[in-house]
A = this chain, B = another copy of it.
Amino acid sequence: MCRIAAYAGPSIPLENIIVRPKHSLLEQSQHATEAKLAVNGDGFGIAWYDRDETPGLYRDVLPAWADGNLTSLCRMVRSRLFIAHVRASTVGETSRQNCHPFSYRRWSFCHNGQIPHFAAIERKLEADLPDHLYSARQGSTDSEMIFLTLLANGLDDDPERAMAATLAKIGSGPDPVKITCTFSDGATLYGFRHASRGTAPTLYASGSLDNGGKAFASEPLDGGSWAAIPANKIISLGINQTA
């Protein structure tokens, strides 16, 4: 179980979402309240958009709260659209390649959840990737594979159809598949919740932050107006459109 926060709107310092809110992503990294694990200390990452089509990417294996660079970057860097993630991994060694967000060209993606039967389907999913996405794979997580499969299934053209095709390819196993994710092409911010059985991990949206921006977060960042997004439907927050 990881924690996610993402923003779209007027350009703001990253810290306005990641550090400053009462229940900021950094606070959630140590004191999550709606996750099985209260602590998300297995790495973190940020993807942010500025002038380039390609997002900036900053990921590290330290707990987010222990990285002095992160505080400085969040104070200095401003962005009109960004995705941030703190990771809780139950097994295995952390590497930057396994930290979210993942990025490919203009797309960025981060995930909270899991494919419990991933070991059984990994070879098939990987074999089905076209060469350019096969060689883009850097780590070994189910999360990165979901992202690459979304891309292979036409994320550029139709996110809803790409998600449906990806879920079909993942199929089901003895334990429920859980995919709560946010992703972006730099223009629109998408949020999605899904569980093949049971409840999907939380994702809240706020359509009207103080500054007019919009946000997704695993847990509401402050006392403002946040609504749980519905399951099985891609919600999009555009910079110049209503949620």
A interface residue numbers (CB < 8 A to B)? 30, 38-39, 41-42, 48, 50, 52, 54, 56-63, 66-69, 72-73, 75-77, 89, 92-97, 119, 122-123, 127, 131, 134-135, 137-138, 140
What CA separation (Å) do A241 and B200 show in the bound complex?
A: 57
A72 close to B94 (CB less than 8 A) = no
What CA separation (Å) do A123 and B129 show in the bound complex?
A: 11
The 6 closest A-B pairs by CB, nearest first: A56-B76, A68-B93, A41-B41, A39-B39, A66-B94, A95-B95
Q: With A93-B96, A95-B96 as given contacts, are A76 and B63 in contact (CB-CB < 8 Å)? A: no
A76 close to B93 (CB less than 8 A) = no
A76 close to B95 (CB less than 8 A) = no
**Residues of B close to A76: CB separation below 8 A:** 48, 50, 52, 56, 77
B119 close to A123 (CB less than 8 A) = no
**How far is the CB of A163 from the nearest CB of chain B, in Å?**
26
